[in-house]
Amino acid sequence: MPEYPTALGASSLDKITLLGQDLAADVMGEVGFGELAFWLAIQRRPTPGETRVFEAVLAALADHGFTPTAITTRLTYLSAPDSVQGALAAGLLGGGSRFLGVTEDCGRFLHDALSTARGGPPTDEAGWDELALASVRSARAEGRVIPGLGHHVHKEGDPRTPRLFHIAAEEELVGPHLSLFAAIGRIHPQVLGRTLPLNGAGVCGAALADLGLPLELLRAFALLARTAGLIGQLAEEIRTPVANDIFLSVDLNNRAVPPHPADGGEASASG
């Protein structure tokens, strides 16, 4: 018979192992969920400081009001109250370049910029500012968005950003990604001609990258956090529903307009 080796969960007649531990005896009641999620992803147990930073990221990304992901989850539940899994999945599918996906996008942007630093990461603020300036100018010249800059609500500053920097500093876990992100916050007005806040999703991506977590999974951690938030949205929808009002506000206020054919010629009714 073929074998399928795994360091994750495995079961026998009377025992379940997980990450080399006895699940019932060594994990349940002994390991927090955030710590376990980190451990599962990187297959080493995080330090208390790493756990604190990681769980701060999860808290920062769990819920942020009536975002598209929350509204989608509530509306899907309105349409299919028999499918909680469908409502949660619908909300998570909206994690992309504008919401939640910025966490991964920022981590990758910072990682790519760091890879261009000759002689390794800078050692002083002037060096970080120089690297940040080069990376922002390059992105601007190529017409790319600088992920982690700007927020549709927190125009004067995202309150999550300084708090996460503070926690990482307390745990001595401010690494190159957070250092470069801070430098981008200092220098970007020179290139963009205006000052934008460093947003929470971006700083979370920088912090996760500094923890050594795989870049390919940064969005997954944002989705893990948002799952908890969407469960809260569903629980509130059950207690005090608003989804039907959201639906009716659109349905009862639609306005018929003539069709607008797409560019490329007039629409044809012929087959």
Structure tokens at 78: 């309105």
121 CB contacts (<8 Å, ≥6 apart)?
Answer: 114, 176, 179, 180
Q: What is the pLDDT of residue 99?
A: 77
Q: What is the pLDDT of residue 252?
A: 93
DSSP 94: T
Query: What is the rounded CA–CA span in Å between residue 42 and residue 217?
Result: 10
Domains and CATH numbers, the chain: 46-243 (1.10.230.10)
**SS in 3 state form for 164-225?**
HHHHHHHCCCCCHHHHHHHHHHHHHHHHHCCCCCECHHHHHHHHHHHCCCCHHHHHHHHHHH
Successive 10-residue mean pLDDT values, the chain, 271 residues: 89 92 95 97 96 98 91 96 96 83 93 91 94 95 91 86 98 98 96 94 97 96 96 97 95 91 57 35
Question: Torsion angle, CA of 110/116/117/118, rounded to 10 degrees?
Answer: 170
Structure tokens at 51: 């756990």
DSSP 22: E
CB 53 within 8 A of CB 211: yes
Beta bridge partners of 18: 21
Q: What is the pLDDT of residue 130?
A: 95
Query: What is the rounded CA–CA span in Å between residue 75 and residue 71?
Result: 6
Global pTM value? 0.89
Query: What is the rounded CA–CA span in Å between residue 226 and residue 223?
Result: 5
Query: What is the rounded CA–CA span in Å between residue 200 and residue 239?
Result: 29
Q: What is the pLDDT of residue 101?
A: 81
Query: What is the rounded CA–CA span in Å between residue 223 and residue 225?
Result: 5
Q: Say if residue 255 is exposed, middle or buried (CB neighbours under 10 Å; 0-12, 13-18, 19+).
A: exposed
68 CB contacts (<8 Å, ≥6 apart)?
Answer: 94, 99
Task: Look at the alpha carbons of 127, 131, 134, 137 in this order and tell me if their dihedral is positive or negative.
Answer: negative
